[in-house]
């Protein structure tokens, strides 16, 4: 017995056995860690397969491959793994969709399955977590709100203008702001000899959506508005698809300057809008609905008796206005800013647009919305700007609302989905020389018509149930701002310098601001009819 005891203690206590136990413990801990940090793959039903994708590292997944320009990295990976692929960001699996046919299948034909939004931590700071575009809510209440916002936008853009010769309110607001912008550019040109156009574009575009939403316009030096609209990069950096801190919990506990700025930006945005909505409540008159905010207040007061879905609680009005205002100024400004970058880079393209404007509209009257459809080269240029810049490389992330199957791959409910618009717009299967900027690709051989089918292949407003609700007014705004500016001004860069078109990644791809823009008046300014 004593000998047995000795043997037992000897076994447990010898240095080699302590070492073996240690190694075993470390190995077990490592295996456990590996297991815990591997993307959590659900069981795939028989007969189906999980989407393919690159193997990720423990803890971080594929983050290192995606840290710079994720749209390019995911386009490269999709060439290897296909249109339906899965990557891991941290331990979270993310489905990445590419290819126009696959996107049409997922977002249109299987639209209900792919219409969700993931509950990402950064999205909870947007519009107090109540955003139409970013919150994970997708039920009946959300649908009713989306419809309401869509109708309000349409009503306050196509309604007839009572005070001007414009065909509708949208035309009136854009024409007024664009004419002001022409004068402003000429004035700063005279004072400073060159300037950064973004700073002025953003206020003019914001004024259009302000006029529709709040019946109000701001001075180009209004500090409160300037501090909001000029800071939108703080929003785009954090809200971009693939922000690691949305997927790796540990990162949320580390100090982050960009996250602090993002939170502060969102709070300032809500405060700015709260004050405007409060003012509207105080001066509300049901017999004089002045703007979108009034019309939302009307819905909210009138529908007290209506079904829960159609009703919007008072406090949510501010959130709806937040979505319309935020989305309404940022992407349209970006479109126009990219237009100017292409125009100074390709002066011959600028000249050709101006020749078309001179021939079709002339110099006696201002461009109108009804000119859309009569200026094929100009329209081809706008399409090419959307395609080539692809400045919204991904849509806002989606998520699956139920277990589903796409192209034979099993995708469980709640899977975060990235929609790669950049890939579609640069897909060699769809476009000849996709990296070349060439508006003519959209025109027929005679150059007299835009090929509608090719135009529809450009993906910038998303598709299906989450398709942008502002597309109708955005396309019109870009057309009218651009034609009004180019009818009267010629843009160039000081001393023939080149602008830097290298995009910086974010929710929107932004080019570097350029302070060397110059303008020349094309003909003596008379007051245009």
Q: Binding site for heme: which residues?
A: 468
Q: Which residues between 84 and 123 bind ligand HEM (CB under 6 A)?
A: none
Taking the least distance from each CB to ligand HEM, the nearer of 381 and 461 is 461
**Total residues at interface with ligand HEM (CB under 6 A):** 24
Q: Measured between alpha carbons, how far is 526 from 509 in angstroms, rounded to an integer?
A: 38
Transcribe 228-295 into DSSP letters: HHTTHHHHHHHHSTT-GGGT-HHHHTS--HHHHHHHHHHHHHHHHHHHHHHHHHHH--TT---SHHHH
234 binds ligand HEM (CB under 6 A): no
127 binds ligand HEM (CB under 6 A): no
Binding residues: 468
Classify residue 258 by burial, with Cβ atoms within 10 Å: 0-12, 13-18, 19+: middle
Taking the least distance from each CB to ligand HEM, the nearer of 66 and 321 is 321
324 binds ligand HEM (CB under 6 A): yes
Taking the least distance from each CB to ligand HEM, the nearer of 327 and 349 is 327
Q: Measured between alpha carbons, how far is 101 from 424 in angstroms, rounded to an integer?
A: 10
- Which residues contact residue 289 at a Cβ distance below 8 angstroms, ignoring those fewer than 6 apart? 295, 298
Per-residue x/- marks for ligand HEM, 176-215, CB under 6 A?
---------------------------------x------
Taking the least distance from each CB to ligand HEM, the nearer of 156 and 195 is 156
* Stretch in the footprint of ligand HEM (CB under 6 A) among 216-224, 328-336, 339-347, 376-384: 328-336
C-beta separation of 289 from 295 below 8 A: yes
Taking the least distance from each CB to ligand HEM, the nearer of 409 and 422 is 422
Compute the least distance from the CB of residue 455 to ligand HEM, in Å: 14
462 binds ligand HEM (CB under 6 A): yes
Distances (CA, A) of 269 to 277, 297, 321, 497: 12, 20, 11, 36
Q: Measured between alpha carbons, how far is 318 from 85 in angstroms, rounded to an integer?
A: 38
Helix axes of 169-192 and 140-158: crossing angle, nearest 10 degrees: 70
Taking the least distance from each CB to ligand HEM, the nearer of 354 and 425 is 425
469 binds ligand HEM (CB under 6 A): yes
Taking the least distance from each CB to ligand HEM, the nearer of 61 and 328 is 328
Compute the least distance from the CB of residue 255 to ligand HEM, in Å: 30
Q: Residue 273, Cα to own-chain centre: how many angstroms?
A: 21
Taking the least distance from each CB to ligand HEM, the nearer of 241 and 259 is 241
Compute the least distance from the CB of residue 51 to ligand HEM, in Å: 19
Determine which residue in the list 317, 392, 424, 482 makes contact with ligand HEM, applying CB under 6 A.
392
389 binds ligand HEM (CB under 6 A): no
Q: How many CB atoms lie within 10 A of CB 192?
A: 11
Compute the least distance from the CB of residue 295 to ligand HEM, in Å: 14
CA dihedral 80, 86, 88, 91 (to 10 degrees): -150
Q: Which residues between 130 and 159 bind ligand HEM (CB under 6 A)?
A: 132-133, 146, 153
466 binds ligand HEM (CB under 6 A): yes
Taking the least distance from each CB to ligand HEM, the nearer of 115 and 514 is 115
Q: Which residues between 432 and 461 bind ligand HEM (CB under 6 A)?
A: 460-461
Q: Measured between alpha carbons, how far is 317 from 130 in angstroms, rounded to an integer?
A: 10
* Stretch in the footprint of ligand HEM (CB under 6 A) among 71-79, 93-101, 391-399, 400-408: 391-399
Tokens of 412: 């469980």
387 binds ligand HEM (CB under 6 A): no
- Which residues contact residue 333 at a Cβ distance below 8 angstroms, ignoring those fewer than 6 apart? 198, 201, 202, 205, 206, 229
HEC profile of 205-228: HHHHHHHHHHCCCCCCCCHHHHHH
Taking the least distance from each CB to ligand HEM, the nearer of 102 and 518 is 102
Determine which residue in the list 171, 323, 384, 427 makes contact with ligand HEM, applying CB under 6 A.
323
C-beta separation of 179 from 200 below 8 A: no
What is the SS3 assignment for 204? Answer: helix
Determine which residue in the list 395, 399, 425, 487 makes contact with ligand HEM, applying CB under 6 A.
395
420 binds ligand HEM (CB under 6 A): no
* Stretch in the footprint of ligand HEM (CB under 6 A) among 72-80, 160-168, 326-334, 513-521: 326-334
Taking the least distance from each CB to ligand HEM, the nearer of 90 and 464 is 464
Transcribe 59-111 into DSSP letters: TTBTHHHHSS-HHHHHHHHHHHH-SEEEEEETTEEEEEE-SHHHHIIIIIITT
Distances (CA, A) of 196 to 236, 350, 429: 20, 19, 37
What does residue 411 show for φ and ψ, rounded to 5 degrees?
-130, 120
What does residue 406 show for φ and ψ, rounded to 5 degrees?
-130, 125
Determine which residue in the list 292, 473, 485, 519 makes contact with ligand HEM, applying CB under 6 A.
473
Per-residue x/- marks for ligand HEM, 478-507, CB under 6 A?
------------------------------
Q: Which residues bind ligand HEM (CB under 6 A)?
A: 132-133, 146, 153, 209, 323-324, 327-328, 331-332, 335, 392, 395-396, 460-462, 466, 468-470, 473-474
């Amino acid at each position: 017995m004593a000998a047995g005891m000795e043997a037992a203690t000897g076994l447990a206590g010898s240095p080699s056995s302590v070492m073996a136990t240690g190694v075993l413990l470390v190995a077990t801990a490592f295996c456990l860690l590996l297991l815990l940090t591997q993307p959590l793959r659900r069981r795939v039903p028989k007969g189906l397969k999980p989407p393919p994708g690159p193997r990720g590292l423990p803890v971080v997944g594929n983050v290192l491959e995606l840290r710079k320009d994720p749209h390019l990295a995911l386009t490269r990976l999709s060439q290897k793994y296909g249109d339906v692929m899965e990557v891991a960001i941290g331990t979270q699996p993310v489905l990445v969709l590419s290819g126009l046919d696959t996107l049409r299948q997922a977002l249109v034909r299987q639209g209900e399955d792919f219409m969700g939004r993931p509950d990402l931590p950064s999205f909870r700071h947007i519009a107090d977590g109540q955003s139409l575009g970013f919150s994970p809510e997708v039920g009946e209440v959300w649908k009713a709100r989306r419809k309401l916002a869509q109708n309000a936008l349409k009503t306050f853009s196509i309604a007839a203008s009572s005070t001007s010769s414009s065909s509708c309110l949208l035309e009136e607001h854009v024409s007024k702001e664009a004419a002001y912008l022409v004068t402003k550019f000429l004035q700063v040109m005279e004072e400073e000899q060159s300037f950064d156009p973004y700073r002025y574009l953003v206020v003019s575009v914001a004024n259009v959506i302000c006029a529709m939403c709040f019946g109000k316009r701001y001075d180009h030096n209004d500090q409160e508005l300037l501090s909001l609209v000029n800071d939108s990069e703080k929003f785009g950096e954090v809200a971009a698809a693939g922000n690691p801190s949305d997927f790796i919990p540990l990162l949320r506990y580390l100090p982050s300057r960009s996250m602090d700025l993002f939170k502060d930006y969102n709070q300032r945005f809500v405060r700015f809008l709260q004050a405007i909505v409060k003012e509207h409540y105080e001066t509300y008159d049901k017999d004089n609905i002045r703007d979108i905010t009034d019309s939302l207040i009307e819905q909210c007061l009138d529908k007290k008796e209506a079904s829960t879905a159609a009703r919007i609680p008072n406090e949510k009005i501010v959130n709806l206005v937040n979505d319309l205002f935020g989305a309404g100024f940022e992407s349209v400004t970006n479109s126009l800013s990219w237009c100017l970058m292409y125009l100074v880079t390709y002066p011959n393209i600028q000249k050709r647009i101006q020749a078309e404007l001179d021939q079709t509209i002339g110099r006696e009257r201002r461009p109108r919305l009804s000119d859309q459809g009569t200026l094929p080269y100009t329209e081809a240029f706008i399409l090419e700007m959307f395609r080539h810049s692809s400045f919204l490389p991904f849509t806002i992330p989606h998520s699956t609302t139920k277990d589903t199957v796409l192209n034979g791959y099993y995708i469980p409910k709640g899977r975060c989905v990235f929609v790669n618009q950049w890939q579609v717009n640069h897909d060699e299967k769809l476009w000849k020389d996709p990296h070349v900027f060439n508006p003519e690709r959209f025109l027929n051989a005679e150059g007299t018509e835009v090929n509608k089918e090719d135009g529809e292949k450009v993906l910038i407003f998303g598709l299906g149930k989450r398709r942008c609700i502002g597309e109708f007014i955005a396309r019109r705004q870009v057309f009218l701002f651009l034609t009004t500016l180019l009818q009267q001004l010629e843009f160039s860069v000081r001393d023939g310098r080149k602008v830097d078109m290298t995009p910086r990644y974010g929710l929107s791809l932004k080019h570097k601001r350029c302070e060397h823009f110059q303008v020349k008046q094309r003909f003596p300014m008379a007051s245009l009819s």
